Chains A and B, each alone.
Chain A
């Protein structure tokens, strides 16, 4: 704005400011010389001042003018008073010219408050502009407002007297000759400011001050608008910008006003009006004004921050690149040059010696200024008009700007992304990256592009490929962290937790940085490692990961989350005491945290696990009382209900269950509460209430309800009421009603229940009736799915399911029609026949359709065994991870853990195998067969790694502790392996004793492996042992060796 005002004002009063520096150097020296004013008459003072002014010695005129004012201040002569005012106004203008605005302001204020006031409009106009330039916006507003009233001259003599210079005395002529005064008179009215400034004094009243020209009004309105804007009175600024928009002749000035008005409207959050103006602006030449372009960028940024993305995009899209601006200015300059018969100019582009783009125009401009001296002008070289100078200044301004085109494109990328034009965002970011692949903005654009490709475009493969390629060559700074972050985001969307874990070595390879932003991203990356471990059920690793974030990234935004999830990891590890401590720590550290309700609820679970039921109940109550809107609220109600029920407080428990049902957010929450409540009712034989509760549940949750469980309860109640036929009928109805829907896997649970009922509760007659009825349903239905279900049911009732499985394996070609129990039977039959040909399809069928089916476990196992048996270990390990992610440490998926150990052992990864097998002992649900196998396999691991003593110890443990499991298979194997180790170690006697012990061991001595022991001992010893066993003799043979092997 100051530039704009300056350009405008100087057109009237101070056009030479550019030259002030060299002009003043000499004149100020003269001003300091002592002057003997006593030698001057009053008119002589004015004459001397006029002489100095005519020589452009402006500051030298000041002492004479000041002396004149001092000397004549008490005069009552109207002409003298008018002359003093004229001198005052002149001094104001000179002061502006000499860059002494404070003095100028004082002169102008004195002038406007003193009579006669010949030129109030001019004085107020200059005052307003000067005050604005000095930052006195309130004063400016007052002066400009006053100016716009266009006050008339005041205190003038009643009659206007035409001055006849020829009638003036010599004193009145102030030292001028009549001829000189006439010349001055003829020049008066020239509105060139420099003419005005160097003008002498008439001492008579001039013509009445004319109204402002339109150009002047535009200037004053603009000044006023800008002053209002500067004091944040944006509303007041609007009509004045509007005036400039409506009346400015120059397109660029008009455009600037529009831009300022846009800015004001944006700040007033009137985006719609701003947007209309922006479009208006785009149709003016002002769009080629660099100031307008800069202002547009600024306004666009403000709109962006306000979320006014459409308007912001329009603005950014209107901003012109510097090349276009320069081309436009060049064209304008050449048009002007042609009109002046001057040679045309050509703006060319160069780079410096290193090839780096640099701004050279400024240097050329300096050279150009050096030759632009009065001497050069005096030498008769052609002069450059002011408008050309201004055009050149405009080009210099553009060239001096730092490059902004890429910022522009980057911003457009952001806007496209925010607004939902993802492919345009990708293209914009890609454009920035291509221009500056290793620049800050280019790297940032690359990261943003990856994020858009991830979400919403789901172009995961592209993200992975480009991201990984980038990380191969970038390890330092923010960019690799950001790219890794984008990769993590993509993997997270795909639930590829293993892929996130694979990034860990990459992250660890980053060059250390203590930059705050870098640390933030790094903290996020390690946090996500913890989350990935959590999702992969690697709870120990997850706990360690969160601890790492907590200790190594204390400023991370994930501190709170890491604290909570560390505690949850401990809970998943069933380390209730530690988990409770960690949750309490969270609650203490984050009294306003995001996980308050959940943490309190989980802490109650810990207390439950620690069997501190009273405290658990207190905490459930805290959740219920404090967070009725929390997602865990219904769960808290249910679990408190369980505690109350266990105390016999059935009414209170019922109230909690009912509250849980009423507030359930998911069918799962309601299902738990409903069926816990029905279990409670069952104890009191409140069958009608059970039926009512189940009916309500079915009505409330419809398709989401657990139909099977509901039907199970209905059947059960009827059974309990002695209405066996009705119970059977209810089950049958449910099967026939829902059984044709292959995805209604709840029916499959009813099948299981009906099988149990048929075998245990029904008489032969009833069972026959059921089979006949099911047979009829089988014949009547056209639904292949229902047919398959009924066939499975009938086979299970009469115990022929293995036969059916084999039949179905051959018969069912289209697996899509087969419900989970059928697929399960086919899996079992495949196992039995070691036919893995359909393993992949069976698993895919479950994964795509019956992800929640219990029968899917069999498919996982079948496929894993296939992969293992064909030595596709990597694929097998992936599947195992997936299995464990789904089923965790469920008893029937212990095979996954064991198979993982087997594979690692096959791969020679002894430490890893040892850890995997050892972990089997940490899971209570894996007691029995899995631990028997794990003990034996730990022996195998040690034996293969050459540690025969440790191997022997594990084998011993396997046959001592686990002989009763897996039909003695692992114990038998362990006996043989133990003997083998002892022999290798040179303990032959102990080895034979081991064989003897094996033959005495009733758990294993009938197994095929026992033959090996008999062979080793010989037929005599074996026969002797057999006889001893017949005679009822028992032995307590033990074999002991020390770790060092010293005592045999």
Chain B
């Protein structure tokens, strides 16, 4: 019996180099790393606002980068604290906890949240004594 199975299609050299298009290859991590270093440098230079924009750029371009995206997230949370944007810092840390559940990144985010809480309490105390 002639079996009409799946193997009726013939491999052809034509499709071995099948041509297609898409938005482009995934971005190289090198650039993410370079951006991360740049953000750290900006932070060290006392420019947290510039630094957070650079760190956020990593998330916009390399959010799937398993090495640099989590670092950029944590850096953003830290920079929000530096910018005295505590609500934003807490939201960021909370989302990091969820996004990287079960990882060291999530643990660091949890620690950041505790730190944010302490800063808030300190502020409240200062406010009440003034």
A-side residues, CB < 8 A to B, are: 15-16, 19, 23, 54-56, 192, 194-195, 198, 275, 279, 310, 313-314, 317, 320-324, 326-327, 342-351, 357-361, 363-365, 367-369, 371-374, 376-377, 379, 381-386, 389, 392, 395, 398-399, 403, 405-406, 409, 412-413, 419-424, 426-428, 430-431
Contact = CB atoms under 8 A, between A and B. Distances in A.
A386 B7 contact: yes
23 contacts: A195-B1, A195-B3, A323-B26, A324-B64, A326-B22, A351-B21, A357-B21, A358-B21, A359-B21, A361-B18, A364-B14, A376-B10, A377-B10, A384-B10, A385-B7, A386-B6, A399-B22, A406-B23, A420-B87, A424-B59, A427-B53, A428-B60, A431-B61
Nearest to A313: B95
Closest CB pairs A-B (n = 5): A386-B6, A383-B7, A361-B20, A427-B56, A372-B9
Nearest to B63: A317
A377 B7 contact: yes
Contacts, number: 201
Interface string B64-106: 1000000000001000100000011001101100110100000
B45 interface: no
Contact of A348 (B19, B24, B56): B19
B23 A327 contact: no
A372 B10 contact: yes
B17 interface: yes
B23 A322 contact: yes
B11 A384 contact: yes
Best-buried of A367, A384, A406, A419 by chain B (most CB within 10 Å): A384
Contacts of B20: 326, 347-350, 359-361, 364, 395, 399
B89 to A, nearest CB: 9
B25 interface: yes
Contact of B8 (A367, A372, A409, A422): A372
Interface in B2-60: 2-26, 52-53, 55-57, 59-60
Nearest to A363: B19
A422 B14 CA distance: 49
A350 B17 CA distance: 11
B23 A381 contact: no
B69 to A, nearest CB: 9
Contacts of B19: 348, 350, 360-361, 363-364
A678 B1 CA distance: 112
A15 B13 CA distance: 25
A194 B11 CA distance: 22
Nearest to A345: B16
A180 to B, nearest CB: 11
B23 A384 contact: no
B70 to A, nearest CB: 11
A351 B19 CA distance: 10
A323 B17 contact: no
A194 B56 contact: no
A409 B7 CA distance: 41
Contacts of A426: 53, 56
Contacts of A360: 19-21
Contacts of B12: 368, 371, 381
B10 A322 contact: no
A751 B60 CA distance: 62
Contacts of A19: 4, 8
Given A344-B16, A361-B20, 19 more contacts: A55-B2, A194-B4, A310-B95, A317-B64, A317-B99, A320-B64, A321-B22, A324-B64, A347-B20, A348-B20, A361-B21, A372-B10, A377-B7, A377-B10, A381-B10, A386-B6, A399-B22, A423-B52, A428-B60
Contacts of A343: 11, 13, 16
Nearest to A428: B60
A405 B55 CA distance: 20
Nearest to A193: B5
Given A194-B3, A374-B8, A424 B56 contact: yes
A267 B87 CA distance: 30
A372 B9 CA distance: 4
A369 B9 CA distance: 7
B10 A371 contact: yes
Nearest to B24: A323
Contacts of A320: 64
Nearest to A386: B6
Contacts of B55: 423
Contacts of A350: 19-21
Contacts of B95: 310, 313-314, 419, 421
Q: Which of B21, B53, B80 has the most CB of A within 10 A?
A: B21
A310 to B, nearest CB: 6
A22 to B, nearest CB: 10
A409 B10 contact: no
Contacts of B59: 424, 427-428
Contacts of B5: 15-16, 192, 194, 386
Contacts of B18: 345-348, 361, 364-365, 368, 392, 395
A153 to B, nearest CB: 27
A425 to B, nearest CB: 8
Contacts of B61: 431
A995 B20 CA distance: 97
Contact of B1 (A198, A326, A372): A198
Contacts of A381: 10-12
Contacts of A421: 76, 88, 91-92, 95
B2 to A, nearest CB: 6
B113 to A, nearest CB: 14
Given A15-B6, A56-B4, A195-B3, A349 B15 contact: no
Nearest to A413: B60
Nearest to A350: B19
Contacts of A399: 20-22
Contacts of A342: 11
A372 B11 CA distance: 8
B76 A423 contact: yes
Contacts of A369: 9
A430 B56 CA distance: 10
Contacts of A195: 1, 3
A345 B16 CA distance: 4
A345 B24 CA distance: 18
Contacts of A382: 10-11
A83 B17 CA distance: 52
Contacts of B11: 342-343, 381-384
B123 to A, nearest CB: 18
Contacts of B92: 421, 424
Contacts of A427: 53, 56-57, 59-60
B15 A392 contact: yes
A52 B7 CA distance: 22
Given A381-B11, A382-B11, A430-B60, A405 B23 contact: yes
B3 to A, nearest CB: 6
Nearest to B16: A345
Contacts of B53: 423, 426-427
Given A349-B22, A419-B95, A420-B91, A383 B56 contact: no
A389 B11 CA distance: 10
B68 to A, nearest CB: 14
Contacts of B26: 321, 323-324, 327
Contacts of B87: 420
Among B13, B15, B87, B98, the one with the most A-chain Cβ atoms within 10 Å of its Cβ is: B15
Contact of A349 (B3, B21, B52, B80): B21
A275 B8 CA distance: 43
A314 B6 contact: no
Contacts of B52: 423
A465 to B, nearest CB: 15
A322 B20 CA distance: 11
A275 B99 CA distance: 10
Contacts of A23: 4
A339 to B, nearest CB: 14
Candidate in B1, B8, B56 with the most chain A CB atoms within 10 angstroms: B8
